[in-house]
Amino acid sequence: MAGTIKAIRGMKDILPPETGRWQLIEQVAREVFDLYGYQEMRLPLLERTELFARSIGADTDIVAKEMYTFADRHGESLTLRPEATAQVVRAVLENRLERGFWVKKYYTIGPMFRYERPQKGRYRQFHQINCEALGTDAPELDAEVIFLLVDILGRLKIEQVRLLINSLGCPECQVDFKARLSLFLAAKEGWCDDCRRRRDTNPLRVLDCKSQRCQELLRPAPMMRDCLCEACAGHYARVLELLGRAGVAFEEQPRLVRGLDYYTRTAFEVAAVGLGSQDAVAGGGRYNGLARDLGGPDLPGLGFAIGEDRLVEILPPDCGQGRQEKIFLAALGTAAREVALALLQELRQQGLAGEMDFDDRSLKAQMSLADRLGATYTVILGDQELAQGQATLRHMATGEQEQVPLPDLAPRLLKR
Ligand code: AMP
């Protein structure tokens, strides 16, 4: 016999009870997005490869090594989305949503795909909550987007986090920075093969090389903040000022770059304590040139992505455990089962969760089932009780029991 089929490496089943934690995260995120005026987009998982190649950058790890790309039956090159920002901007432009004077605010939740080496906190299918705001370069929007992220994490009681922030400047500042960086990179030996190539093609990408050796060599490298033009320096200072005024704790991280080419000006990451080496739970920044790179108008914007898989790991253990109150109906015999089924439906209609056994189990077996299902009360319905128009109501934690007339059962349980 052939063996059973397993899921693909780096892709996992998310099962109950853990799904309760995912639901909680998404519910809180949706509530917060709503408060800040964001609306949901639901986008395809597949896009034309060109969308990512043009926006993320050909020299990035994502585009060079990590995309799930294949030709469809007509030979068109398609890619499973590795991230959502380029896609949201594509959808905005395609659907002419950029029109009008107001900032456009969207969020999207779903799986992303990257062919990375799987390890704890790093998967090939992972899940992001994406926030994107388009239409102004005002630093107030940067601050608001960061407030929103901090708000989601705060409501989820994720407290041990560090907000790291930097400015990557505009393309003009980057010309100066790249020139200084290239000189620095050329003067040193020992770079990995990728970085030797990136030195010539896209020196900025050397900064986010994952090799430890390269990271050590980079220690004395020039820093972006020394190359910011006046406008970018002013923008950055204003963002920091607004965060400070709002009491949002942050750490300036002059070495922070993001693994995608489209970022300009503000870039940030949230690192969480307790996650080991893959400790980034969220990352984002400005992408003022992205819409233009994708053939659209000048449409400054910024956003972030929360890594949901990692957030689930650090959510307090008692979060997202589903409903606490549950009733079990232990019915003995066909007639009792019929009454129980009707009662159960009435309770559910009134918003009280409940379950019953359909398989004629003994009372003892049903009581242990009620225990395992975590019922707070069990209603016992046997022939004798039925004949008297009553049921036994048992409080599972204390073992206390009382006889209750059938018509009073639903009101009694609902009152509790
Ligand atoms: P990025 O889109 O690379 O800026 O990543 C944003 C967030 O997504 C990160 O901070 C992580 O929390 C999460 N993330 C990125 N790649 C992975 C992955 N391979 N597995 C799990 N989470 C990931």
- Domains present along the chain, CATH in parentheses: 18-170+229-314 (3.30.930.10), 327-415 (3.40.50.800)
Tell me, what's the pLDDT at 72? 97
Edge-to-edge strand order for the sheet containing 327-331? 354-356, 327-331, 377-381, 390-395, 401-405
CB 314 within 8 A of CB 25: no
Using a pLDDT cut of 90, give the percent of the chain over it. Answer: 80
| Helix ranges restricted to H, 210-307 | 212-217, 230-245, 290-293
Q: Range with the lowest mean pLDDT among 166-170, 175-179, 238-242?
A: 175-179
pLDDT at 416 over 80: no
Report how far ligand 1's centroid is from the alpha carbon of 343 (Å). 48
HEC per residue, 97-120: CCCCCCCEEEEEEEEEECCCCCEC
Give me the amino acid identity at 115. Y
Is the bond into 17 cis (omega within 30 degrees of 0)?
yes
pLDDT tens per residue across span 272-294: 988 888 899 999 999 999 999 99
Task: Tell me the Cα Rg of the chain.
Answer: 28
Q: Which residue's CA is the closest to the ligand 1 atom numbered 10?
A: 282
pLDDT tens per residue across span 124-133: 999 999 999 9
Judged by phi (left if over 0) then psi (alpha if -120 to 50, else beta), residue 147 lies in alpha
Report how far ligand 1's centroid is from the alpha carbon of 9 (Å). 17
pLDDT tens per residue across span 336-376: 999 999 999 999 999 999 999 999 999 999 999 999 999 99
Q: Which residue's CA is the closest to the ligand 1 atom numbered 5?
A: 283
pLDDT tens per residue across span 101-149: 789 999 999 999 999 999 999 999 999 999 999 999 999 999 999 999 9
Mean pLDDT on 259-275: 91
Tell me, what's the pLDDT at 1? 63
pLDDT tens per residue across span 297-324: 999 999 999 999 999 999 988 888 876 7
Provide the whole-model pTM. 0.92
Judged by phi (left if over 0) then psi (alpha if -120 to 50, else beta), residue 265 lies in left
Report how far ligand 1's centroid is from the alpha carbon of 307 (Å). 5
Q: In this structure, what DSSP letter does residue 277 have?
A: T
Residues with CB under 6 A from ligand 1: 83, 114, 116, 121-123, 126, 128, 258-259, 280-283, 305, 307, 309-310
> Between 209 and 127, where is the model more confident?
127
